[in-house]
């Protein structure tokens, strides 16, 4: 008997709906676009297959919040568990406009990473992450794209440094910005 998850994976070509990377069935789960908790149905038009970690991240958020998370990733969704560790295609950037690589002289690499994150957040304008969890995944994706270390502790330190500099204000799980 074909399961709901089997049908979704088949329809999606065996790929995660969000990042389009191969998704083994053992790592897959059904994500309701309109969450069940918000009245969403189990029909195929409301469900997609994605990794379990991303499903957990999206949880029972509203469709608006889910769309914001996807938009914040700017077309480069990185599933939280990196189910299929394949390199993301390098962005098409000319050497003249490429971001500078961090120097070993930077204090714990934080100085250049902070500048990179701050610059990216400024560019995002009104589409900046509004939740700490989304900000965390956005920073991780940015650092991964730039081939920089991005452990949870390093990302937490970057957010703490942004707070210390008065660029980010965290209240409970919400984030506001004063980037200037």
The mean pLDDT value for 49-60 works out to 84
pLDDT grade for 13, boundaries at 50, 70 and 90: very high
pLDDT over 70 percentage in the chain: 81
Highest mean pLDDT of the ranges 98-102, 110-114, 172-176: 172-176
Residue ranges of the chain assigned to CATH 1.10.30.50: 4-72
The architecture CATH gives domain 4-72? Orthogonal Bundle (1.10)
How would you classify the pairing of strands 168-171 and 28-32? unpaired
pLDDT grade for 14, boundaries at 50, 70 and 90: very high
CATH fold label, 107-177? Arc Repressor Mutant, subunit A (1.10.10)
Q: What mean pLDDT value characterizes the chain?
A: 78
C-beta neighbour count of 90 within 10 angstroms: 9
- Give the per-residue pLDDT at 145: 77
Query: Between these two residues, 74 and 7, which has the higher pLDDT value?
Result: 7
Residue ranges of the chain assigned to CATH 1.10.10.10: 107-177
Residue 38 has pLDDT above 90, yes or no: no
């Amino acid at each position: 008997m074909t399961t709901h998850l089997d049908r979704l994976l088949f329809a999606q070509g065996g790929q995660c709906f969000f990042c389009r990377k191969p998704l083994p069935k053992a790592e897959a789960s059904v994500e309701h676009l309109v969450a069940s908790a918000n009245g969403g149905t189990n029909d195929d038009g409301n469900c997609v297959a994605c990794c379990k970690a991303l499903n957990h991240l999206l949880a029972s958020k509203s469709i608006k919040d889910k769309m914001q998370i996807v938009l914040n990733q700017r077309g480069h969704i990185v599933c939280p568990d990196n189910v299929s560790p394949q390199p993301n295609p390098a962005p098409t950037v000319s050497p003249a406009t490429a971001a500078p690589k961090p120097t070993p002289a930077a204090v714990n690499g934080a100085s250049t990473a902070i500048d990179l994150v701050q610059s990216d957040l400024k560019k995002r304008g009104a589409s900046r992450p509004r939740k700490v969890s989304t900000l965390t995944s956005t920073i991780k994706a940015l650092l991964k794209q730039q081939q920089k270390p991005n452990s949870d502790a390093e990302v937490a330190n970057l957010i703490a440094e942004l707070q210390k500099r008065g660029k980010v204000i965290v209240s409970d799980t919400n984030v506001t910005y004063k980037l200037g």
